[in-house]
Amino acid sequence: MKVAPALSAAMLVGTVAAGWISTGQPLRLHWTSTVQATPPSADLTLPDRVVSVETLREGFVTYQRRCAGCHGDEGDGRGVSGVGLSPPPRDFTRGAFKFAAVPSGSLPRDEDLARTIRHGLAGTAMLPWSLGERELDSVVQYLKTFSPRWRRERPPPLSELATSPDPWRSDPEGAIREGERIYHREALCSTCHPAYAPVAARRPDPGAPVMQFEPAYNTWVLSPDFRRHPMRAGRTLDALHRTIAFGLGGTPMPTWQGALPDRSLWALAYYVRSLTPSW
């Protein structure tokens, strides 16, 4: 059965509009790579180690089985299953990563990449993957073949802030109250995210999130409305504290470590968690 061109165009526009309305992001419609993937043929030399070709080949096999469908054979986010996904699959060739316990814009540590693979990203097509330690490590190393950044730079060491204890454990209600104050009156989070309390208006609609362009990922994103949108890296206090402290690389979400005391960062994590639905 043939579909009239006008109807096909209307269906396409409707699909894109539906993606924008449901996620606040436009769907990225793109071409897919036609280059045949080939296994690595040499070791990968990094600033702090050499990854053997045997490990890279193991990672290649796992990547082709589980990742290439969306992220593409060349790691450029243009896999056949990634067409129309919102948000789009990560383009590993850019060497830019959002979810890591490192200062915003730095390369992630292996533990950060492994955490994303293990737990996935809520509200996206990135599902949790159950892999053995060896298989997980090999695919993490293989991901580093896609961007030259890995050959030039090394991830920063683990910060003490990444493992700091929760100072509000015995007073969660106090943490929420303090977090609400910091959110609206000190960190001014409602500059991008919605305001959830009466504040001096800094933009026309303070109750709505702000749409912004992310050059590092070549896509538009909507700053999360914590009452509506799932938290990509999870809504546990540790995950929220990590995101607030270190920011999201390549996005307007800055690194807050150093700008606010760690006690305030934990209070913000408590407050944000109090707003989020327990999906």
- Regarding whether 241 and 266 lie in a shared domain, the answer is yes
Look at residue 28 and tell me if it is in a domain: no
Rounded to whole angstroms, the Cα distance separating 183 from 185 reads 6
Of 28-32, 209-213, 267-271, the one with minimum mean pLDDT is 28-32
CB 107 within 8 A of CB 153: yes
The fraction of the chain above a pLDDT of 70, given in percent, is 86
* Number of domains observed in the structure of the chain: 2
Residue 7 within a domain: no
User: Domain boundary residue among 120, 152, 184?
Assistant: 152
Secondary structure of residue 65 in the 3-state scheme:
helix
3 pLDDT more than 60: no
Domain that holds residue 93: 37-152
pLDDT tens per residue, range 209-221: 999 888 777 778 8
In a domain, 27, yes or no: no
Is the pLDDT assigned to residue 10 strictly greater than 50? no
- What digits encode the pLDDT tens for the residues 211-263? 988 877 777 888 999 999 999 999 999 999 999 999 998 888 999 999 999 99
> Is 9's pLDDT higher than 60?
no
- Does one domain contain both 62 and 133? yes
Residues 176 and 144 in one domain: no
Do residues 112 and 180 share a domain? no
Residue 279: its pLDDT value, please?
59
Kindly state whether residue 3 falls inside one of the protein's structural domains: no
Residue 210 and residue 256 in one domain: yes
CATH code, domain carrying 180: 1.10.760.10
44 and 148 in a common domain: yes
Convert 227-266 to b/e letters by CB count within 10 Å (16 or more is b): eebbbbbbbebebbbbbbbbbbbbbebebbbeebebebbb
Checking if the pLDDT of 26 tops 90, the result is: no
Same domain, 126 and 194: no
pLDDT at 158 over 90: no
Which has more pLDDT, 7 or 274? 274
Taking each helix axis from N to C end, the angle separating 133-143 and 110-119, rounded to the nearest 10 degrees, works out to 120
Q: Are residues 186 and 261 in the same domain?
A: yes
The pLDDT, as a whole number, for residue 58 is 98
pLDDT given for residue 25 in this prediction? 47
Question: Are 102 and 190 in the same domain?
Answer: no
Residue 115 is encoded by which pair of tokens? Answer: 């955490």
- pLDDT at position 13: 43
| 4 domain residue, yes or no | no
What share of the chain in percent tops pLDDT 90?
69
What is the reported pLDDT for 11? 42
**Which residue, of 152, 181, 205, is where some domain finishes?**
152
Kindly tell me the sign of the dihedral angle through the C-alpha atoms of 45, 48, 52, 56: negative
Pair (118, 198) in one structural domain: no
Type and span of the H or E element at 221: strand 219-222
Q: Based on the domain organization, do 77 and 147 belong to the same domain?
A: yes
Quote the pLDDT of residue 100. 93
Same domain for 42 and 140, yes or no, is: yes
For residue 47, the model assigns a pLDDT of: 97
CA distance 132 to 139: 11
Instruction: Judge whether 9 lies within some domain.
Output: no
Residue 232 located in a structural domain = yes
251 within domain boundaries: yes
Confidence at 56, pLDDT banded by 50, 70, 90: very high
Q: Is the dihedral of CA 230, 105, 188, 267 positive or negative?
A: positive
Q: Which of 152, 175, 205 is the last residue of a domain?
A: 152
Q: How far apart are CA 38 and CA 8, in angstroms?
A: 36
Q: pLDDT band at residue 169, thresholds of 50, 70 and 90?
A: very high
Residues 75-116: tens digit of each pLDDT:
999 999 998 888 889 999 999 999 999 988 899 999 999 999
